A and B are shown apart, each in its own frame.
Chain A
Amino acid sequence: MVALYRLLVALLPYRVRQAYGAEIVELFADEWCSARRRGAWAAIRVATLGMLDLLLRLPREHWRAAGALSIEETMQSFWYDLRTTFRTLLRQRGSAAMILVTLTLAVACNSAVFTLLDGIFLRPFPFREPGRLVYLNEQAPKWNLEFTGINYPDLVAWRNGTHRFESISAFGQTDFNIALPGNAERVRGALVSWDMGRTLGITPILGRMFRPDEDRPDGPHVAMVSYHFWQSSLRGAKDVIGKPLRMNDATYTIVGVLPAGVEFPGDAEFWTPLDADAASSNQSYEYDGVARMKPGVTLAAARADLLAAHEAVWRASDSAHVVSPRIMSLRERYDRDYADIGRILGLSAVVVLLIACANVGAAMLVRATIRRRELAVRVALGASGRRVARQILTESLVFAGIAGVAGAVLGWWGIRAVALGSRDLLPPGIRLGFDWRMAAFCVGTMGLVTLLFGAAPAIEARRQGLLGIAALGDRTGSTSIRQRRALDGLVVAEIALATVLLVGGGLLLRAFRQVEAEDPGFRVNGVLQFSLLPPHETYSDGASQRRLFQRTIDELAALPGVTSAGAVSCPPMGCHWGMFYTAEGSTRTPGSDDPVVLTRIASPEYFRTMGIRFLEGRSWTAGDERPLGGAFPVVVNEEFVESEWHGATSVIGRRIASRAKNSPWMTIVGVVHDVRHYGLDQPMRPGIYMPMSWIEKDRTVGSMAFVAHTDGDPLALYSEVRALGRRIDPDLPIIKLETMRDAIDASLLQRRSAMLALSAFAAIALALAVGGIYAVLSFIVGRRRREIGIRMALGALARQMVGMVIRRAVVLVAIGVAIGLPLAFAAARVLGSLLAGVSPVDGVTYVGAVVVLAVTGIAAAIAPAIRAAAVDPRSAITES
């Protein structure tokens, strides 16, 4: 970084450089070193601001060094330059349009991507000193679980045993059925421990936080509402404190309003106390944790502290150290899911910017060459080299200004489209807004590009100052070898960069197609699903829940057009409920990883409705849910059989039991094909289905999903299903009503977005590179008219001339591709998990990218080649 800065300092006027250059670099180096010690973001900030300071100050220093005209003279000269610039632009409309379009696209891509990344990764949390906040959870590598959720007694042990935290809070996400006049609505909420406000460092704008005595099992029904809910549903009334609110069939008292922007976790509209029981011996891993470290404590020290506090838990109940605490910065937890797509977008935007720079650089070189004579005449008539350079700099500024504004507008429009179109994709709570940083970024980008493409012609013009008269005598009008090499180099660079994006886009496209073609193991078309969350207050026991579920299934099956209907406690793409089982006669080697088994409760018709195929046996029927001496009949999946009885041919009649206390044996009556429960690109775990008869007395479920298969359009059933919901229980909202196809599409949303974004960037890159090839070849053919004319006069054939131009295009593309392919291979690793099994050296993709580049490259050369073949030798030789 310092080396780059030193290089840029060389752009300062000689006098300033001589006097202060060393100290300027030294000062920057000091800043840079101390910033690096503070972290990556501080370093990026210093690098950006330092570079901007240098680049934005450059014109002023040169203006001073030039012996400073008076303000009036400067303005007069500037207006003159501006008029001349617009006249020239109109005269050379083609190249001007190409430069403007290229620059606008580059600025638009960059400002849009920057705004998005800024919104996701850089915006500060709305909490006091967010750097001291950490996210807590537990992990169980032996169970192949990254996050198990926190067992509340463990959190209490951490609270008691740690010394480096100011406070440790727990939270859980939950949904509330909220009764508003006329209908029931489902709203996202959170259960939080009473000290959550202290941990996050927030104070309510109205009322108070929870008190310790409110956060206990069977505590009072109190709630805090989010600023958004207070404004939208309670109309911002100042007297809401103490008012009642009907949620989940219970009456809650509002005790406080959270500050604006604090919708934590996610987009929670309510907080209610956690009411967890610290003395509970029930090992229920269900909460998340957030903690505030004491000032000056590092993450590593906090982790060590937490592990030391967890020793007590290991000694008491987990001597095998299966579950251990997990800690990471709140930011890391929040950004994890977006790291891949963020990296891809950021790098793609930078590559597009580089291609645009190369393109514009080539176009400016071409313009400077075409205008060589004009400039030489001006110099010969007495214009100073500096004067000419200023004219060209004005031109660059005009380009940069127009493209900067147009690009920012276009980018802003793009980001609005993204924000409106993909609410589900973006992290909750993110707000995309125009801010000064985006404006500064646009101006900074443009400053850099202006300098890059303004400098080359300006240097050319300076050189013209010396060679002006000689150039006047040069009647051949051909380009110098140096110029041609520079142009070729720029085109090769564009092609190499376009190769990288094309290969990246191609790989993601292949991965997407592959994932999309995966057999989910269940029926996707013609299936509708929705869920019910029976509130504990109304459906407190298993019997009443079962009555509700059975009635819903029966009424659903009776709807016109429905061929079958069923229910499952945990639908695909929806949730996870894991338990451990002991299998009779298991062949699993002792000590091997103990798999968590996905456990679902299903109605017998569920398998038929979802088209889940039986490999062996059958499902139970409503009548024989306890057929075998009181044991539950269960259905297991292939993966379960594979993990417990590897290689067994038949497992019907074998018995398994949950490892929870007093669990009865269950008998396997069927084996089904695996379903892609966690997403089309995720592996399946061992899984079992238990009958609805499991729900009884105090064994209840939190929610139940219902599925219906129809021969017609499932969308047509929406209104019938809603009416059914109102008929069964008007206070119970129908939630997550969607077709199975939509559920699958939603699960692929991030992958699809990454693929579309990279493909769009690849298309822009290809268009720019092809435009570059076309422009450079057209220019070279134009400049070599005389030479082509002489060759043809000496007997060369038209097709040889076509061959000459096409050959040149092929050579440029070949060199570009040869450089680009290794770069693409290196870049493919960035795509990481999004590749979903497609190799980063996937031959089809690489060959495809090469073919696309070769074909478009040659296509771009056809028009210039035809122009070369059409050169009339006589006029070409005689024209001056």
Chain B
Amino acid sequence: MRPHHFHVLMSLADRDRHGSAIMRDVLDLTGGAVKLWPVTLYGSLDELVDEGLLREVNAPAPDAREPAGGHKRWFHITAAGRRALAHELKSMAELVRRGERRLLARETT
């Protein structure tokens, strides 16, 4: 999975968001390491919608936490998107486990 796609799916895993909220959230999630610039962000969103991992939804009622501009497009992760993300996370976790095991093996010999 492309890193941008992964970050976008991660951001939408817990709630629906619009573009700039995704950008801020990914920046926050990665501790400032990954910034999705506008064209990359919307290009990735469009690709993910094409692949059926996301779909556009109506803007929710305005809420204090996320100022919602009326014209902004909101995105929602689909069941296929959740599966793809879960699969990606699982393989990452596996990789982390293996890496740690190797480090441990070197330290104990």
Interface residues of A (CB under 8 A from B): 9, 12, 16, 19-20, 22-28, 30-31, 49-50, 53-54, 57-58, 60-61, 64
Proximity bits, B26-49, A CB within 8 Å = 1, else 0: 000000000101111111011100
Q: Which residue of B lies closest to A30 (CB)?
A: B20
Nearest neighbor of A61 in chain B, beta-carbon distance: B43
Shortest C-beta distance, B21 to chain A (Å), equals: 11
State how many angstroms separate the Cβ of A199 from the closest Cβ of chain B.
28
Whether B71 and A53, one on each chain, are in contact in the complex, defined by CB atoms closer than 8 angstroms, is no
Give CA–CA (A573, B18) in the complex, Å. Answer: 64
Instruction: Flag if B46 contacts A24 (CB, 8 Å).
Output: no
- Enumerate 23 A-B pairs (CB-CB under 8 Å) in ascending A order: A16-B43, A19-B46, A20-B19, A20-B42, A20-B45, A20-B73, A23-B19, A23-B20, A23-B38, A23-B42, A23-B73, A25-B38, A26-B20, A27-B20, A27-B38, A50-B38, A53-B38, A53-B39, A57-B39, A57-B43, A58-B39, A61-B39, A61-B43
- Residues of chain A within 8 A (CB-CB) of B43 are 16, 57, 60-61
Q: Could you tell me the distance in whole angstroms from the C-beta of B77 to the nearest C-beta in chain A?
A: 18
| B73 & A53 in contact (Cβ 8 Å cutoff) | no
Residue of B nearest to A23 (CB): B19
Closest Cβ neighbor of B36 among chain A residues? A53
Instruction: Report the Cα distance A137→B71, complex, angstroms.
Output: 55
Give chain B interface residues in 29-86, CB to chain A under 8 Å.
35, 37-43, 45-47, 71-73
Q: B47, A27: Cβ atoms under 8 Å? A: no
Write the nearest CB–CB distance from B75 to chain A, whole angstroms.
11
Chain A to chain B: the 7 pairs with minimum beta-carbon distance, closest first: A53-B37, A20-B42, A24-B38, A27-B38, A57-B39, A54-B39, A28-B38
Measured CB to CB, the closest approach of chain A to B53, in angstroms, equals 15
In the complex, chain B residues whose CB is within 8 Å of the CB of A57: 39-40, 43
Q: A50-B37, A54-B39 are in contact. List 18 more A-B contacts (CB 8 A).
A: A9-B39, A12-B39, A19-B42, A24-B42, A25-B38, A26-B20, A27-B38, A27-B41, A28-B38, A30-B20, A31-B38, A49-B35, A50-B38, A53-B38, A53-B39, A54-B37, A57-B39, A64-B46
Closest to B19 in A: A23
| Complex contacts, B37 vs chain A, CB 8 Å | 49-50, 53-54
B10 at the interface (CB under 8 A from A): no
Of chain B, the residue at the smallest CB distance from A53 is B37
Q: Chain A residues near B45 (CB, 8 Å)?
A: 20
B23 at the interface (CB under 8 A from A): yes
Contact across chains for A16 and B46 when beta carbons are under 8 A apart: yes
With both beta carbons as reference points, the residue of chain B lying nearest to A64 in the complex is identified as: B47
A53-B38, A61-B39 known; A27 vs B23 contact (CB < 8 Å):
yes
CB of B34, distance to nearest CB on chain A (Å): 13
Q: Which residue of B lies closest to A50 (CB)?
A: B37
Give the distance in Å from the alpha carbon of A50 to the alpha carbon of B38 in the complex.
Answer: 7
A53 and B46 in contact, given A22-B71, A27-B19 (Cβ under 8 angstroms):
no
Min C-beta distance of A583 to chain B, whole Å: 65
> What residues of chain B lie closer than 8 Å to A27, measured between beta carbons?
19-20, 23, 38, 41
Residues of A within 8 Å of B40, CB to CB, are 53, 57
Chain A's nearest CB lies how many Å from the CB of B36?
Answer: 9
Min Cβ gap B39→A in Å is 4
A289–B37 CA distance with the chains assembled, in angstroms: 42
Q: Is the CB of B20 within 8 A of A24?
A: no
Q: Which residue of B lies closest to A27 (CB)?
A: B38
Min C-beta distance of B18 to chain A, whole Å: 8
Roughly how many angstroms separate A16 CA and B46 CA in the complex, as a whole number? 8
Residues in chain B near residue A23, CB distance under 8 A: 19-20, 38, 42, 71-73
- The residue in chain A whose Cβ has the minimal distance to the Cβ of B49 is A19
For B72, the closest partner residue in chain A by CB is: A23
Partner of B42, one of A16, A30, A60: A16
**How many angstroms between the C-alpha atoms of A61 and B50 in the bound complex?**
13
Contacts of A28 in B (CB 8 A): 38
Residues of A within 8 Å of B42, CB to CB, are 16, 19-20, 23-24
Interface centre among B35, B38, B46, B47 (most CB of A within 10 A): B38
Q: Chain A contacts of B35 at CB under 8 A?
A: 49
Chain A residue contacts of B20, Cβ below 8 A: 23, 26-27, 30
A9 CA to B42 CA, complexed, in Å: 12
Alpha-carbon distance between A28 and B72 when the two chains are bound, in angstroms: 14
A66 to chain B, nearest CB (A): 14
B44: nearest chain-A partner, CB-CB = A57
Of chain A, the residue at the smallest CB distance from B47 is A64
List of B residues within 8 angstroms of A53 by Cβ: 37-40
Query: B38 — which chain A residues lie within 8 A by C-beta?
Result: 23-25, 27-28, 31, 50, 53-54
CB pair B46 A20 closer than 8 Å: yes
How far, in Å, is B91 (CB) from chain A's closest CB? Answer: 23
Name the residue on B nearest A29 (C-beta).
B38
Question: How many angstroms from the CA of A845 to the CA of B9 in the assembled complex?
Answer: 63
CA A23 to CA B72, docked complex, whole Å: 7
Question: Which residues of chain A are near B47, meaning CB under 8 Å?
Answer: 64
Query: Most chain-A CB neighbours within 10 Å: which of B19, B37, B42, B45?
Result: B37
* Residues of chain A within 8 A of B19, CB atoms compared: 20, 23, 27
Closest Cβ neighbor of A9 among chain B residues: B39
In the assembly, what is the distance between CA of A9 and CA of B73, in Å? 18
- Chain B residue nearest to A8 (CB atoms) is B39
Q: Determine the chain B residues whose CB is within 8 A of the CB of A26 once the complex forms.
A: 20
Complex Cα distance, B45 from A64, in Å, reads 13
State the CA gap A61–B35 with chains docked (Å).
19
Closest residue on chain B to residue A54 by CB atoms = B39
CB distance from A447 to the nearest CB of B (A): 13
Residues of chain B lying within 8 A (CB to CB) of residue A31: 38
Q: How far is the CA of A432 from the CA of B30 in the complex (A)?
A: 31
In the complex, A27→B38 CA distance in Å? 6
Cα A596 to Cα B19 with chains together (Å): 64
Q: Which residue of B lies closest to A19 (CB)?
A: B46
Q: Give the complex CA separation of A19 and B42 in angstroms.
A: 9
Closest beta carbon of chain A to B78's beta carbon, Å: 18
CB distance from A24 to the nearest CB of B (A): 4
Bound form: Cα–Cα A58–B42 in Å: 12
Query: Chain A residues near B71 (CB, 8 Å)?
Result: 22-23
Kindly state the separation between the CA atoms of A543 and B72 in the bound complex, as whole angstroms: 86
Question: Separation in Å of the A292 CB from the closest CB of chain B?
Answer: 24
Report B-chain residues with C-beta under 8 Å of the C-beta of A22: 71
In the complex the two chains form, what is the Cα distance from A64 to B43 in whole Å?
10
Q: Once the chains are docked, how many angstroms separate the CA of A20 from the CA of B48?
A: 14
Q: How far is the CB of A16 from chain B (nearest CB, A)?
A: 6
Q: CA A61 – CA B73 in complex, angstroms?
A: 19
Alpha-carbon distance between A655 and B101 when the two chains are bound, in angstroms: 90
With a cutoff of 8 Å between Cβ atoms, the chain B residues found around residue A25 in the complex are 38
Compute how far the CA of A31 lies from the CA of B39 in the bound complex, rounded to whole angstroms: 13
- Looking at B35, B43, B71, the one whose CB has the most chain A CB atoms below 10 A away is B43
Query: B50 to chain A: closest CB distance in Å?
Result: 8
Bound CA–CA A50/B35 (angstroms): 11
Shortest A35–chain B CB gap in Å is: 12
A102 to B53, CA, bound (A): 47
Measured in the bound complex, the distance between the Cα atoms of B38 and A23 in whole Å is 8
- A26 CA to B39 CA in the complex, in Å? 11
Question: What's the least CB distance linking A265 to chain B, in Å?
Answer: 33
Q: Write out the residue numbers on chain B whose beta carbons fall within 8 Å of the beta carbon of A24.
A: 38-39, 42
Give the distance to chain A from B109, nearest Cβ to Cβ, in Å. Answer: 29
Residue of B nearest to A16 (CB): B46
CA distance A51 to B55 in the complex (A): 28
A94 to chain B, nearest CB (A): 38
Q: How far is the CB of A44 from chain B (nearest CB, A)?
A: 15
- Nearest-neighbour CB distance to chain A for B14, whole angstroms, equals 22
Give the residue name and chain of the B residue nearest to A68 (CB). B50
Please measure, in the bound complex, the distance between the C-alpha atom of A9 and the C-alpha atom of B20, giving whole angstroms: 17
Docked Cα-Cα span, A847 to B23, in Å, equals 56
Question: Across the interface, which residues of A come within 8 angstroms of B39, CB to CB?
Answer: 9, 12, 24, 53-54, 57-58, 61
Question: How many Å from the CB of B89 to the closest CB on chain A?
Answer: 26
